[in-house]
A and B are shown apart, each in its own frame.
Chain A
Amino acid sequence: MSKRIGMEIALAAAEAVALCRPDVIAAYPITPNTHIPEHLSDIVAEGRLDAEFICVESEHSAMSACAGASGTGARAFTATSSQGLLYMYEVLGIVSSMRLPVVMAIGNRAISGPINIWNDHSDIMTMRDLGWLSLFAANGQEAVDMMIQSFKIAEDAAVQLPINVNLDGFQLTHMVEALFLPDQKEVDRFLPRRKPYAALHPDHPVTMGALGMPDIFTEATKARDQALVDSRKVILKVWKEWEKQFGRRYEPIEAYKTKGADVVMMTMGSMGETAEIAVDELRKDGVPVGLLKLKLWRPFPFEEMKKAVRGVKTLIVTDRCCSLGGPGGPLAAEVRSALYAEAARPVIENALIGLGGRDVTVDDFKQMFRQAGKSKGIYEFYGVRG
């Protein structure tokens, strides 16, 4: 039986990870994800979880330890944020190319500078092209659910890829929320033990991470890309199973009151919750607006994207980071690519919001809805002074 509890989301995410019975946890603290591994270390110390908790000296070592552990067939978990993610960067592509299903929570935080510890999505966006699956939680319940779903998705025989679950730093990690925490029996029923494709063992030697020269690199890259594209089917299957067992529905893009909407907003992560209220209030005033909440960032849901905007006149894509010197925000760039070949596509505007922890209120979202169609460039820094 799931228990309804009130708990800080980072702690609840850690409880969810513990329910997945990881064998190895290797992490280095960095705000705002710290409470996740900190609480896991408590759980291990209390004897509630039989896992190896490795206090590493850096994030580079955290991801390297996870790679080694995962290579032996263990279930490995880590968590990080911002600069810590950048510090493990080198190993991220190695883990995905070696098809090691490591699960990582990212307490999203801006990349400095100026030095900033608050929330935006610039950390995860730097690693979007490294072959990891990537989910975005909009609230604490989704964070808990996605932690458990992630192990099943990543370890599926057809996937065998690492996955990250994104929780907005502070806005989610440090928020106390009422949520359902499944019990051990339920999670055991949902999540079987990992069956690795291959594992490092002296009796059965295998080589992982061998040199790939120009002769093979193109084929290896195509195989990696295809594995990521094909993982979509497994994600949808696992989400169906989750819905059947736990009653909560997950989709790559969740539509909120988009029926008959002329203007639709698109968000990732916790901002979707605030935007929902703005949609409710505007709908009450008779303004036909709607909301799309992206939950699956990699593999990007191109087909769902095309379907989601049918009949929409203006789509305001919000991004919580800027591709400096590029086309605005990374989500908008993806959405534009997804819809470019469509005969009837909405006008796409891109608002860069909530950078480095700046609050975006219900009124801000209403303001953005009202300004729809008036954007001057291909992207705008919403609310920028000057």
Chain B
Amino acid sequence: MAQKKWPETWQEVTPGCMIFEGGNSREYHTGSWRAQRPVWDNAKCIKCGICYIFCPEACVKEDARGYFAADLDYCKGCGICAHECWPGAITMIEEG
């Protein structure tokens, strides 16, 4: 079913605000909510992946070498990864 990405007028709102495509939360960039960003110190990282597991936004990704980083288009800066990282490899730094 054809559907506009975002209804402009009330007439364009689908019945029940239903969305007929999957995976469209990707189009909503929550990175603008962030006041702090997580920064990884790979020298301290033991590649345990706890940041990856705990990220509520599922925006922490593993690179080819096994280290981790947040996708800043979606990272809300909640700091859970830094809180959970027991080797202390993640620091939250102020944006801007």
Contact = CB atoms under 8 A, between A and B. Distances in A.
A220 B19 contact: no
Instruction: Assign chain A's interface to a size class.
Output: 20 to 34
Contact of A99 (B7, B16, B24): B16
Contact of B18 (A206, A226, A227): A206
Interface residues of B, number: 17
Interface in B26-67: none
A100 interface: yes
A219 B13 contact: yes
Given A198-B20, A205-B22, A206-B20, A219 B15 contact: no
A219 B16 contact: no
Contacts of B20: 198, 206-207
Contacts of A226: 10
Contacts of B2: none
Contacts of B17: 97-98, 209-210, 212, 216, 220
Interface string A222-236: 110011000000000
B9 to A, nearest CB: 7
Contacts of B24: 207
A91 to B, nearest CB: 14
Contact of A198 (B7, B10, B18, B21): B18
A160 interface: yes
Interface centre among A97, A207, A216 (most CB of B within 10 A): A207
B10 A97 contact: no
Contacts of A215: 6
Contacts, number: 56
Contacts of A218: 10
A222 B10 CA distance: 6
Nearest to B1: A198
Nearest to A212: B17
Contacts of A219: 7, 9-10, 12-13
Nearest to A159: B15
B18 A208 contact: yes
A96 to B, nearest CB: 9
Contact of A206 (B7, B13, B19): B19
A386 to B, nearest CB: 50
Contacts of B6: 215-216
B15 A160 contact: yes
Given A216-B7, A226-B10, A97 B16 contact: yes
Interface centre among A100, A208, A218 (most CB of B within 10 A): A208
Nearest to B8: A219
Nearest to A226: B10
A207 B25 CA distance: 11
Contacts of B12: 219
A273 B23 CA distance: 56
B13 A220 contact: yes
Interface in A170-225: 197-198, 205-210, 212, 215-216, 218-220, 222-223
B6 to A, nearest CB: 8
A37 to B, nearest CB: 26
- Nearest 6 pairs of A and B residues by beta carbon: A99-B16, A207-B19, A222-B10, A219-B10, A223-B13, A98-B16
Interface of A: 97-100, 160, 197-198, 205-210, 212, 215-216, 218-220, 222-223, 226-227
